[in-house]
Chains A and B, each alone.
Chain A
Amino acid sequence: MIEILIVFIKIVCALVWFLLLTLYLTWLERKESAVIQDRIGANRASIFGIRILGLFQPFADAIKMIFKEDFVPAFSRKFLHTLAPFISFFFVAITISAIPFGDSIRIGERTISLQILDFNVGLLFILAMLSLGIYGIILSGWASNNRYTLIGGLRGTAQLISYEVALGLSLIGLIMVFPSLKLSAIVHYQGELIFGFLPKWGIFLQPLGFLVFLFAALAETKRAPFDLPEAESEIIGFFAEYGGLKWGLFMMTDFMEIIVVSTLLTTLFFGGWQVPWMAADGFHWPWGGEWLLSHWLVVVFQVAAFNIKVFFFCWLQILIRWTYPRFRYDQLMDMGWKLLIPLSLVNIVGTGIVMSIL
């Protein structure tokens, strides 16, 4: 009974973390783009005259979206048209269940790992769910029964399945270095040190794999410079026939994908919840000496480290989105098939050679 309760609490906490971060990423996006373009950005939403940098803006947006008319075009395939945004949202939201937020906490005699579901194949699970999320795009484009949305949906699907190949291949080198598909085990491997001082993070062992993964993952989030599926400013994208909360679900899916990519980058290449030189009992400095901490402080440090890394990558992705112009479609396909896939294959071979020498 208490086990079920613990899992329930974990699910609620993870979802609240995920959705709150999603809401505030919309705020961060508006503010960051405003700073880049020398504007002020959203700062008007207020509660009783209090407006702290427009921090209530996401809630105002949410209320607006919920109370908009839920419009389904008469010419669309109604059931699939309604189903598509939920598919998109669900398969991104479920990936949070495999992400390790921290090691584990001890309460009395019970050890609770800070991860909802510690899959044996957690990494593949996340990739599988992300690949199922593509159906949201292709269905929304097709079920709207509109040529522009259909072409947008096909464009989006072509982009996503092309970059999924590079995404998967770039991770093979990492799996060779950290021989596990279990995300918690991958994070544990990254707690060791190379040469006695350098943390054994994925980025130090797999720099090329990291670059390929970063570009492929940026393409998977469907935002500028890879925003051809939506292209909100000029081309018509796959969700042109949606409004209100269903449009909002697609928008939230985008921001949630940013978070999922950030958590994956953190977990796979930047040590997850690992703090450099920190073990389960405190810091052990490589130049000698130690700073012992209590169990709870260690947990706080781990969760804080995870969150800081994730925030950093969210910030970085928004920065990239507002800095670079869009690729042309042929450039996009060339980059996916002729640059990233060969590079990831080179990475696999190189990793194999280095591993067999060492």
Chain B
Amino acid sequence: MITLSILREEERKKILAASFRVLDETGVQVDHPAIFQKLGAAGCRGDEEKKRIFFPRGLVEEKLKLCPRSASFANRTGDIFLAEPGGPSVFWTGNALNFTRGKESRPITERDFAAFCQVVDALAHIQGVVGTNLSEYPPETRDFVGFRIMMENTTKHLRPCIYTPQGAAVIVEMAQEYLAMLGKDLQTCPIVSTGYTIVSPLHWTREGLEVYAQTAGYGLPAMINSECISGATSPVTLAGTLVLANAEALSGIVINQILEPGRPCIYNLGFSHVMDMKTAEPTTGAPENGLLAAAGAAFARDLNLPSASWTCSDSACVDSQSAFERAVVGLVQLLGGANIIWGAGNLEFTRAISLEQAVIDNEILAAAHRVKRGIEVSEETLALDLIQQMQSQAHYLTSDFTLKHYRRELATSNLVNRHRRSAWEKRGAKSLEEAAHAQVEKILKQPAGHRPDGPGLEKVRAIEKKWLRKILG
């Protein structure tokens, strides 16, 4: 596997040393009184008036040792993905506000999100679905309603987007009940994971910390997200942003290890943006997004932790920009070694999702995975005997060797055009966007029986109804 090295070891050490100084000397604002107290009891210095916690390096290093080096993510077909430093990468979708089709975009509805889950369920290179906004439900219910929609429409790993601490607790209840019907539990079958993002710079809100508190104690992997915006919430220099992002993520690690010693934590510096200095928008498809995420994955490897990132496009629709940004940034993040990469199907600075973009991303990811796998060199793959046997005859196509190796050596695609013009015209002369649209329509026409269902889902629906009644009256 190819791993891209963004920073030299001595550069990473320098950055990390600066991060430890930020934690110890500048500190982090902690808005949760109970967690503030726990951090104080664990050995941090605190300034109650300013709600500031200062983390001694020794304490951070001690808590890092409690973190498992891997985290498990299960889907509902029985597969478990092990995220670990130096290990393989998977792609998930990303949360959003709007649903884009063509050049139009509208707030996401339940129906839109269900369709999105169904399409992603059919895409081999996207392994997890992330919850989104749902416009017809009140904000405080969108996380657990979204979780039910995900459960009904995909068997992939589920990462609900958490809007409130209560929502996190409801989702844990839903997942536990569902698994209990199958004789399983969250420890052994983590079909759901959670996480939260610090407000940069250096500010843990009460809500974020309460989400960690509500989901602690089940062995659920927690993603610790720093989401700096270089030039706005962090220094415009990427090195400076990494100093801050490391400090933020490390503070989240300490908090989670205090709440649940041994909790699997995913070290995520890869949600970082840079501010576009013309529009003031936080970019997601800029080259720097790739650099920051790849560097973040390298820090995670140094700390012996799994890593994550988010790749997206800033384009408002499915077009050449959305494809090239995903290809460049996604490839850099993948080669950088991020274990879980969000954003498949995302557009418009992560504000939108698109069915067609998800299909195109699936192809980009397949190609990117092929690049990452690199070139396998062995006595077998050198094919010296075959070359000597063929001499100057070009009969490789009919050889047994080709039949044996071509599927592994050559990436295939059902979407991109590899026909000559005449054949392409005969097949409808479809652009990539049109081919993706046709594939979306085909997936959505699959019979409803294909969708996941069962008695466990009835439990999930009942819990959803119970909480909707409680919250909405």
Pairing of A with B: no
